[in-house]
Structure 1
Amino acid sequence: MERVPRSINERRVFVDSSAFLAYLDRNDRYYPEAGTVVEALLKARYHLVTTMYVVVETHSSILRAINPMAGRQFLVDGLKGISLLPTNSEDEENAKTLILQRRDKGYSFCDAISFSVMERFGLYLAFAYDDHFRQHGFSTPINQPEWP
C-alpha cells in the first residue's frame, strides 16, 4: 500500500545541489535516477523547497560541471515551481556548531545550513545524492528505488 503523507511537512521535499546537478548534468552518475525521482515527485504533487545557499552552490557547480550557459539557464528556469525557504542567523550558528562538533564528517557549510533549515521546518525528505544528508538522519533516494 502506498504511504500517503498526512501533513504539509510530509508533502515537502528539500532539494540539495547534488540533486539539481544530477538532474541537469548528463555526465552525473545519478542522472538517469534523478529524472525518475523528479517525475515521481511531480506526479505525487510534492512541494519542492530549497534555500538560496543551495541555489548559489548549485549555480557554481553547474558552471564547473557543465558550462556558463547552463548556469544562466538554471537561474532563469531551474527554480520554477520550487519555493525558497528563508535562512537566518540561528541556522548559520547551528551550522558552525555542527561542523565544529562533527569533525568526523566533511559537512560543507551549505549542507550544515540545509540541515538546520530542514530541522527548523520539520522536514525529513531530502532529494540529495550527497550521503551526508542520510548520515544526518534524513531520507534520501540513495539506494531506495521506491523513494519517497
Structure 2
Amino acid sequence: MVMPNPVAARWVLVDTGPLYAYLDRKDPDHPKAVTGFVGYRAESRPLYVTNYILAEAHALVLNRLGYFASRSFLQAALEDFNVVRATAVDELRAWEIVKGRVDRPFTYCDAVTVAVMERLGIPLAFSFDTRLRELG
C-alpha cells in the first residue's frame, strides 16, 4: 500500500514526450509542451524525471536532433530537473505491471515511471502517453 506523501502532492513527474516536444519546434506537441512547462514553473512545482526517462529522452534527442542538441538537452535536464533513480523494488514492480498488461502492452520504461510515482506518492505525470495516464 502506498502512503500519501503530502510533500510530493505538488511534484510533477515529466515523461519523455514533453521533454522531446519542448525541444523540437516541429513536433506537433511542441505548443502543449511549452505551455505545460511554463505553467508548472509559474506554479513553482518541482519537476522530476526518472533515470530511465532521462536515458530514453536523451536517445530520442540524439537520434532525431543530433549530438549537439542531445548534449545540450542532457546538461539542461541534469540542472533543471530532479532525477529520481529507480530502485530494484521499482524495477520488480515495473515487471509486474508489464506482465499484467496483456490487453494493452506497456513499455518497461513507462512501467518503471508508474512504479516510481507509486513509491514516492507523486500524483501527477506530465505526459502525452495515454497508456501512462491509464495507470497513473
Q: Is the 8 A contact 1:25 1:65 kept in 2?
A: no
> What displacement does 1:121 show?
0.6
Which residue matches 2:129?
130
Task: Report the counterpart of residue 39 of structure 1 in structure 2.
Answer: 38
Give the structure 2 partner of residue 82 of structure 1.
Answer: 81
Partner AA of 1:119 in structure 2: E
Give 3-state SS (helix, strand or coil) of 1:79's partner: helix
Higher relative contact order (CA 8 A, sep 6+): 2
| Equivalent position of 1:28 in the other structure | 27
Show CA shifts across 1:39-96 (max 9, x none).
1100100000111111100001111222221111111123322111131111111111
The answer for unaligned runs of 5 or more in structure 1 is 1-6, 138-148
Aligned pair count reads: 132
SS of 1:102 mapped into structure 2? coil
TM-score of the aligned structures, taking structure 2 as reference length:
0.90
- Please give the root-mean-square deviation of Cα atoms over the aligned residues, in Å: 1.5
Runs of 4+ that moved beyond 4 A: none
Q: Is structure 2 residue 85 aligned with structure 1 residue 57?
A: no
What percentage of residue pairs aligned between the two structures are identical?
Answer: 33
Amino acid of the structure 2 residue aligned with 1:60 = A
Residue identity opposite 1:109 in structure 2: Y
- The residue type paired with residue 103 of structure 1 is V
- Cα distance between partner residues in 2 of 1:118 and 1:50: 10
Is structure 2 residue 123 aligned with structure 1 residue 114?
A: no
In terms of fraction of residues, the more helix-rich structure is 2
Displacement of 1:107: 1.2
5 Å matches for 1:91-106? Answer: 91-106=90-105
Match of residue 3 from structure 2: none
Q: Secondary structure at the match of 1:35?
A: helix
Name the amino acid aligned to 1:16.
D
Distance 2:85 2:62 in 1: 24
User: SS state of the match for residue 128, structure 2?
Assistant: coil
Structure 2: segments with no counterpart, 5+ residues: 1-5
SS in 2 for 1:75: helix
